[in-house]
Homo-oligomer: A and B are copies of this chain.
Amino acid sequence: MTHTPTPAGRGVVLARAALHASISDPALDAISFLNEVMDRYPQAISFAPGAPYAGLFDDIDPARYIARYSEYLATVKGRTPAQIRKQLYQYGPSKGVINELLAAALRRDEGMQVAPQALVVTVGCQEALLLVLRALCASEDDLLAVVNPCFAGIAGAASVLGVGMVPIDETESADGGASLDWAQLERACLRARADGKRIRALYVAPDFSNPSGTVLDLAARQRLLALAEREDFLLLEDNAYGFTAAPGCTLPTLKALDGHQRVIYFGTCAKICMPGVRVGFVVADQAVRDQHGQLRLLADELASLKSMVTVNTSPLCQAIVGGMLLEHGGSLAALSKDKGALYRRNLTLLLAALERHVGVNGDPAHGVHWNVPAGGFFVRMRLPVAADAALLDQCASRYGVLWTPMSYFHLNDGGNRQLRLSCSYLTPEQIDEGARRLAAFLHGELVRRKPAMLRPAIGSLLSPVEP
């Protein structure tokens, strides 16, 4: 939407510097810039958005899902038509209404023993992140550790609440596996204590993380759980992309391995149902003891907070998710099976197209290297030059292809020579053509910067593509 600034002088003019600091967060400017570039080059092929594939929307039928869920309420729950209408259209509990269905699915699909009461259904995963940060971070002494680089949403939620973040760098092993900089994490805990502060939680996406596409192996998961127990922090596990793993290739979630309730688990229905419902959820089965010694679930406290943020999640949207789940036997895995396969296909196509058009991965002739995830939406590419806004603009205007600078996802000054490629949104043809344009761009820019690195075999690809 274009901005229509108020005619100056007609009324009040607020100073942006006097508004909350989160509004001036550079991360927001980065996202605005990306959106502007996409607006300016609408014909460019964009590896930027991590949004679901639009072809998946062809068969969506909200009325059918609502009817399916209503039938469930009538036959399984014995509700009258008036009660069903009330559940769909009236205010509802802040905790949600499809908690039982979700808890059953998590038990069945993930081996997660979760009571429905330990779940809160939220307006997307984003609201769940905000609620959990708000609950855990009572003062500026309560810090959030974040695996770096990270999903922009967690940094955004922390920024809105003024929660201090401590980046913990992701590390990459020779075989492409990912781990954390454990020493950095332990130092961060020590330093926080020395400063009279404490790390309340660590945000981590162990399965095909956004933005780097990496997976924490089982040993790293176990080490993380042990460290959380020893250093007394919680783990905020974001599992938006686990459903894209090949069958039989999934690792247990942190929450499934969690013997001490150290893990708060975040799920989203945006990818496995659709973003348009804005439904996510959080599992928070930790006990909270009040001053009288009484115990409640952390989920109860989150629901209280939610009543002050969005009151409740649209029960109509929850009914749509519920109906989709019921159409797949109540299984999130069954619901997401075909979608997971589609995204794996896209990823395979992208990786193959990169090899085909750019050249052999890591070949010194072009100096470009990318990781090879087995799932997720994202590939991380390392360039021999800075992948910054200027380069992106050049790439969009001259070669008609877009990507996201990886530095946008870094909490420190890392990721400068990296970019993120997302393949979720594109058709196979776009992926191939996009990789061709990207190769033309990479070789074209490398030609001009480092002529010796150009491989003659791909000279035919170097002509810039009109967007």
Contacts and interface: CB of A to CB of B under 8 A. Distances in A.
Interface stretch (A5-13, A187-195, A387-395, A402-410): A5-13
Given A1-B95, A317-B317, A19 B288 contact: yes
B90 A20 contact: no
A275 B89 contact: yes
A339 to B, nearest CB: 13
A261 B12 contact: yes
A63 B65 CA distance: 11
A336 interface: no
Contact of A310 (B123, B298, B308): B123
A328 interface: no
Interface string A324-362: 000000000000000000000000000000000000000
A290 interface: yes
A156 interface: yes
Contacts of A15: 288-289
A106 interface: no
A12 B234 contact: yes
Contacts of A317: 278, 314, 316-317
A62 B14 contact: no
Interface stretch (A135-143, A169-177, A371-379, A436-444): A135-143
A455 interface: no
Interface in A273-287: 274-278, 285-287
A365 interface: no
A126 B19 CA distance: 20
Contacts of A310: 123-124, 126-127, 278, 310
B18 A138 contact: yes
Interface stretch (A49-57, A71-79, A212-220, A236-244): A49-57
Interface string A281-316: 000011111110011111011001101111111111
A39 to B, nearest CB: 11
Interface stretch (A21-29, A427-435, A457-465): A21-29
B309 A4 contact: no
Interface stretch (A80-88, A413-421, A446-454): A80-88
A361 B362 CA distance: 86
A204 interface: no
A305 B22 contact: yes
Nearest to A229: B12
21 contacts: A1-B117, A3-B296, A6-B287, A11-B260, A11-B287, A14-B286, A14-B298, A20-B135, A20-B305, A52-B90, A63-B66, A90-B274, A91-B270, A123-B278, A123-B314, A124-B311, A130-B309, A156-B308, A160-B308, A278-B311, A314-B317
Given A1-B117, A6-B295, A11-B260, 19 more contacts: A1-B93, A4-B297, A5-B287, A6-B286, A13-B287, A13-B289, A14-B288, A15-B288, A17-B291, A19-B136, A31-B307, A57-B88, A62-B66, A123-B278, A123-B310, A126-B308, A126-B310, A130-B309, A157-B308
Interface of A: 1-6, 8, 10-24, 28, 31-32, 51-52, 54, 57-58, 60, 62-63, 66, 82, 85-86, 88-93, 95, 99, 115-118, 123-124, 126-127, 130, 134-138, 153, 156-157, 159-161, 234, 258-262, 270, 274-278, 285-291, 294-298, 300-301, 304-305, 307-317, 320
